[in-house]
Amino acid sequence: MATIDGLPPLRDVIATHELSAKKQLGQNFLLDLNLTAKIARLAGDLAGHDVLEVGPGPGGLTRGLLAEGARHVVAVEKDARCLPALAEIAAAYPGRLTVLNGDALDMDLAAHLTPPWKVAANLPYNVGTELLVRWLTPPVWPPAWSSLTLMFQKEVAERIVAKPGSKAYGRLALLAQWRCEARIVMSLPPEAFTPAPKVHSAVVHLTALPAPRFEADGAVLNRIVAAGFNQRRKMLRVSLKGVSPGIEAKLEAAGIPPTARAEEIGLEAFCLLARIVAAG
């Protein structure tokens, strides 16, 4: 990669700019440019696409996305220490990289992107799940993005692709699989990162479906799923009591035993329950 873009290896970049990873920002830098290029390729054909990247750090994945042909990369970085390193990448790819300094949770990110666009990021651990839920629950579907290629802690990645009855099955699995094809496409050991985290990581690729698998109001479904899995050891008639009046009758109308627990219920049944609750 360094021979392609003329930029120095990431270890040199980090040393030059004194970019020690900050735990409070959820930073773990991936320094192998071969790996970052592979992750960029896992996002699919980038030609003719803008790409949103959250938490680029010293820019390893950013360089991969640009080298793999992304039309334009919008990189959102909260840590101002990383801006000089990212500016060097912008200079090497004139007009193709925009760096936004700030918190991705507080920005209207779509305003900076031109369709079609994708998301590809080694997400900071402390905001990754919240960003994913936001991308999965826009007011209108299909969303502005076509795919998400995201690095998470392996435990989180497994929750996204989990099936009913498994320990990992929960809100993330339901929201992701309701509207997307979701699969784990890459696993990475702790030693791939600097500093090495205590857990393994994995890349999840989510492709937006043209329409949800089953009809449901997104806000209602999200509320039901959140309540059900917030108290996953309790029966649904208890955990959903505050969601809707007469919840036992609505569970029965959806074919869900009131004594069932959330992890036992599949996506189709949850969507049917959401339609019944929405109807009052």
* Banded model confidence at residue 274, pLDDT cuts 50, 70, 90: very high
| pLDDT for 271 beyond 80 | yes
pLDDT digits (tens, 9 = 90+) for 235-260: 999 999 999 999 999 999 999 998 99
Residue pair 274/247 in contact (Cβ under 8 Å)? The answer is no
Provide the sign of the torsion angle of the four alpha carbons 254, 255, 259, 262, taken in this order: negative
CA distance 260 to 220: 19
Q: What percent of the chain has pLDDT over 90?
A: 87
Instruction: Express each pLDDT in 9-68 by its tens digit.
Output: 999 999 999 888 777 766 788 889 999 999 999 999 999 999 999 999 999 999 999 999
Query: What pLDDT is attached to residue 26?
Result: 67
Segment 123-170, tens digit of pLDDT: 887 899 999 999 999 989 999 999 999 999 999 999 999 999 999 999
Residue 111 CB neighbour total at 10 angstroms:
7
d(CA 170, CA 217): 18
Residue 2 is predicted with a pLDDT of: 46
Cβ 168 vs Cβ 129: under 8 Å: no
Please give the model's pTM, rounded to 2 decimal places: 0.93
State the greatest distance between any 2 C-alpha atoms of the chain, in Å, as a whole number: 66
Show the tokens assigned to 110. Answer: 């779509």
> Has residue 106 got a pLDDT over 80?
yes
